[in-house]
Amino acid sequence: MAARRAARTGLNGLFAVYKPPGVASIRVRDTVETLLLKELNSLEQPAVQQQVRFLPTTVEGNAGKELTLTVTQLPVLAAHPLVRGPEFTHLKIGAGHRLDTKSSGVFVLGVGHGSKLLTDMYNAHLTRAYTVRGLFGKATDDFSDTGRLIEKTTFDHVTRDKLERILAVIQGTNHKALLMYSNIDLKTQEAYELAVEGLIRPMEKTPPLITAIRCLQFAPPEFQLEIQCLHETQQYLRKIVHEIGLELKSTSVCTQVRRIRDGFFTLDNALLRTHWNLQNIRNSIQDSKSKVKVGLQRSLSCQARSGKRHTDMDQVAESKLHSTEGMSASDLTHKMR
């Protein structure tokens, strides 16, 4: 019993699995839970409790058969595994940022108090990275290569230089939006330090933002991009591929979306399907504990500092507003001078 409880206690924290394409995220989560429950319940069972009973028996006596009580040990059937059922029937497993059915890659799960850490990761507004494959020459209704074909175009005029110019424009536009949503004064030392550490992030939920985008491979009609982003969906990334094709006076569809990093977790940390077992998951949780703790403290503390600074600025602005109440236009002009 102690060994079974110890095994269950070790399942507290975050770990990452590799989600294959064609499988829903919720099915991956349910599969991991089922495999863990099966293994926990297959661990060595404690001995069935025994109870002392006095059972009537007949023995041969001087006057013939006599009734007597015999001390006997019998198993407590209420505690028998076949009667009470499995000891573990549910595990609290939460899912991080989802991947849609067509996508693959790093999928973060939290077990036990790891569900709270998933919330912290969400509030930290961490970036995620993807490799996205595209194909020039056609457009579909859902921006993927499996959608309904709506247009075919030529792509002979598309070059890598033209593609990279479009990517630079996309990154520049999104960088301006990131600075706007982060509410940071670019002239301050704090802004410089956050930029050096790569911690300039929005304070709240925003539209999808691309923090970096580059071309990894260009072999027309195929190409591959690496995209780092915030608050994205996989369908948004497919739409980006579609819009790149239009900007290049052609068309393009997305053939693959693969997440290679989610916050602190990379492909190296993601457990393959054959490794979804109790020992590997416990090891993965243990290996990531310090990394997750330090990373979350760093990100959330930076946000707390920024939040305090904005609160102070709002208070100063409100104080100035109250100080000008009731003043005439000429007095206000003189005060501004």
Model confidence over 272-286: pLDDT tens digits?
999 999 999 999 999
The reply to whether 198 and 257 lie within a common domain is: yes
Residue 152 lies in a domain: yes
Amino acid at 199: L
Residues β-bridged to residue 88: none
Of 3, 30, 1, 32, the residue nearest 285 (C-alpha)? 32
How far is Cα 193 from Cα 182, in angstroms, rounded to an integer? Answer: 14
Give the domain extent around 59: 50-81
Of 243, 183, 172, the residue nearest 210 (C-alpha)? 172
CATH code assigned at 166: 3.30.2350.10
The reply to whether 26 and 91 lie within a common domain is: yes
The reply to whether 23 and 98 lie within a common domain is: yes
Residue 308 CB neighbour total at 10 angstroms: 10
**Token pair listed for 240:** 């980006």
Q: Which pLDDT score is estimated for 75?
A: 72
Residue 328 lies in a domain: no
Residue 336 lies in a domain: no
Please list the active-site residues: 100
Residue 337 lies in a domain: no
- Give the three-state DSSP class for 139: strand
Question: Of 33-42, 52-61, 154-163, where does mean pLDDT reach its minimum?
Answer: 52-61
Would you say residue 328 has pLDDT above 70? no
The reply to whether 155 and 7 lie within a common domain is: no
The reply to whether 103 and 204 lie within a common domain is: no
Query: In this predicted model, which residue has the larger pLDDT, 119 or 49?
Result: 119
Residue 216 lies in a domain: yes
The reply to whether 249 and 282 lie within a common domain is: no
The reply to whether 122 and 270 lie within a common domain is: yes
Contact indicator for 261, 295 with CB cutoff of 8 Å? no
Q: Give the torsion sign (CA, 271, 274, 275, 277).
A: positive
Residue 332 lies in a domain: no
The reply to whether 234 and 119 lie within a common domain is: no
Confidence of residue 77 (pLDDT cuts 50, 70, 90): low
Q: Which pLDDT score is estimated for 80?
A: 61
Q: Which pLDDT score is estimated for 246?
A: 98
Q: Which pLDDT score is estimated for 181?
A: 85
Confidence of residue 190 (pLDDT cuts 50, 70, 90): low
How far is Cα 268 from Cα 17, in angstroms, rounded to an integer? Answer: 10
Amino acid at 217: Q
How far is Cα 252 from Cα 269, in angstroms, rounded to an integer? Answer: 32
The reply to whether 245 and 151 lie within a common domain is: yes
List pLDDT tens digits, range 229-250.
Answer: 999 999 999 999 999 999 999 9
The number of distinct structural domains making up the chain is 3
The reply to whether 188 and 219 lie within a common domain is: yes
- Give the three-state DSSP class for 247: helix
The reply to whether 140 and 202 lie within a common domain is: yes
Residues in the chain, total: 337
The reply to whether 91 and 76 lie within a common domain is: no
Q: Which pLDDT score is estimated for 329?
A: 40
Residue 326 lies in a domain: no
Would you say residue 11 has pLDDT above 70? yes
Q: Which pLDDT score is estimated for 200?
A: 73
Burial of 116 per CB tally in 10 Å (0-12, 13-18, 19+): exposed
